[in-house]
Structure 1
């Protein structure tokens, strides 16, 4: 009997084409897909609260209401802080026009004394323009406020998912006999996502508080805003530290000069190196299960599909994709190795 199996190359090409179509489709409905994923991740994050209330035999409405209210209060607090701080930033930026012009004149004088042409200086300033960097931060915060301002949709989704959470858990438990790989993969996704969010939030808060203290000591304006930005950027893999660092650095340059800017860079770097490089890995461990390359690709792909919210949710979205497409397939253990950057364990699925 002739071999009618589909060539592997064709399977890969069809898979890549399908992935591209799905990504462009998600991008078209990003205003809906983003809040849906955010609501799902938030429900997963507070699921231990519901489980603990269930262990205490609390009424069902309490098991739904308490986690729901926790998430809603956090969202309202974030919206309020970002809205107030972004408004203050918009009103503050025009007051630094004179300082920027003075810095530009000093830079031109330095360039002339060191034999650099004004044309070369102009090209450099196009890249390293404090006004553009602060404008980028303002745009990013505006985008985040726009996402969080769709609070009605997010709250409705949260309420619906919170109401369905107890039944969903029972349905998944009932399906363990029919599709054990899928149920296990989804449970692993929830566990890894929850651990990632909890640990990242704790260390993000530590970073944010230390950053705000350092900025306050250095008299950099709006330390609360930059602390919140540091907390949010902590969820963005690879480049989150740079995003959190650039706006307050540029504002420090305009407000206090080069010395203040250097001190801000040193303070942020020391805080980030100590918490993110030495302490965080001991608590987070291998909770994510994604290699460095896959993490960076995830950041690019999900930012393309969902914008700024995709950058923040890059890790949970990648974990969900891995659970549905890789971990649920017993024959894809070798792909798990490629994604996680670790050798797969021996088993029937390894080929």
Structure 2
């Protein structure tokens, strides 16, 4: 007996409703979900260290301690640098009140030359507090520090994940025969995430060093802070460059005038756009497997759900979602094509094998009509009869 087929529209609506409920639940526990995802991504990033030690028969305690120590050193260094830099920024911003007033007066005179009334300018400037000039950078730093302030929770999660890493690897190997598609999808997620993190970190460090040198040459205050911001925003797709450029450009405007601001913008465009738009994609290749539109939507979605840490981890979170919902399902080839922007079988997708060409059936040959021999009269020759 044939089972009734569920309408496609009902499946889409139920899936959308389930996604909304799931994302709402994650957002309600964002203070826990953020550190959990961060710990998972960090463990994936340092997994090659554990593999390298395991290949050399290192003791079990070293397989856990070495990756954990590397991650802790990185986290502690980041927390220390950000804490000192944000404190310096908070003390520096109020000192630019006079510069802001001078710029406002220049803007009024310039606008008056174009026929704009001073009342409109005064109304716009009255709602603008110079202490809020760099709120965008401070908000990002505050959100990141908010996650890193849960350092105890992150350390506990890292320790637990490092302890379970070997057992999880054996579990994945044993599941190949039962759920091969799911195992392969999770393994591919780990490989793509690791490659994305490595490439983004290397080129982020290059951009950060060059940005620090350019800002130091232009005498922009706190060049180390803006270099760290450039490194962090390198993990934010599409708009990370703008977030990293705005604070030092505004500070350059207050400290050195329009000329310094324009030089900061030119330096950042020359460094970051060239590296992130032309050089980095050649090394990253198709590791992400997400189209530009999907990447931008994932940035908006995860930033809304998890806050600043969601913007930083938008790509790994999207890769994990794709692995669980799309790559683990062999029948979801076209969904993978829609997400990656490439047709099935073109690099990221999987193309179904073409069916062999059908040959026309052969026409059966008509059997030959048997012939019978009629007996001839006596003395005569037998003649065949059809």
**Could you state the TM-score of these two structures normalised by the residue count of structure 2?**
0.88
Q: Which residue of 2 aligns with 1:307?
A: 307
* CA distance in 1 between partners of 2:311 and 2:164 (Å): 27
Larger of the two Rg values belongs to structure: 2
Q: Which residue of 2 aligns with 1:265?
A: 265
Higher relative contact order (CA 8 A, sep 6+): 1
Cα deviation code 1:82-127 (max 9, x no counterpart): 0000000000111000100110011111111221122443576589
Deviates more, 1:55-64 or 1:182-191: 55-64
Q: Which residue of 2 aligns with 1:182?
A: 182
Indicate conservation of the 8 Å contact 1:23/1:305, yes or no: yes
Deviation, 1:146, is 1.1
* CA distance in 1 between partners of 2:167 and 2:127 (Å): 54
Q: Which residue of 1 aligns with 2:100?
A: 100
Q: Which runs of 4+ in 1 moved over 2 A?
A: 118-133
More helix by share: 1
Indicate conservation of the 8 Å contact 2:99/2:254, yes or no: yes
Equivalent runs, 1:230-309 vs 2, <5 Å: 230-309=230-309
Cα deviation code 1:145-201 (max 9, x no counterpart): 111111000010000000100110010000010000000000000000000000000
Indicate conservation of the 8 Å contact 1:133/1:246, yes or no: no
**Could you state the TM-score of these two structures normalised by the residue count of structure 1?**
0.96
Deviation, 1:129, is 7.3
Question: CA, structure 1 residues 129+268, in 2 after alignment: closer, same or farther (shift >3 Å)?
Answer: farther
Deviation, 1:288, is 0.2
* CA distance in 2 between partners of 1:122 and 1:245 (Å): 27
* CA distance in 1 between partners of 2:124 and 2:332 (Å): 49
Is there any run of 5+ residues in structure 1 with no aligned partner, and where?
A: none
Q: Which residue of 2 aligns with 1:79?
A: 79
SS at match of 1:115: coil
Indicate conservation of the 8 Å contact 2:136/2:243, yes or no: no
Q: Which residue of 1 aligns with 2:364?
A: none
Q: Which residue of 1 aligns with 2:44?
A: 44
Deviates more, 1:128-137 or 1:22-31: 128-137
Deviation, 1:3, is 5.1
Q: Which residue of 1 aligns with 2:164?
A: 164
* CA distance in 2 between partners of 1:293 and 1:156 (Å): 36
* CA distance in 1 between partners of 2:322 and 2:353 (Å): 19
Q: Which residue of 2 aligns with 1:149?
A: 149
Question: CA, structure 1 residues 252+128, in 2 after alignment: closer, same or farther (shift >3 Å)?
Answer: farther
Cα deviation code 1:244-301 (max 9, x no counterpart): 0000000000011100000000000000122112210110000000000000010011
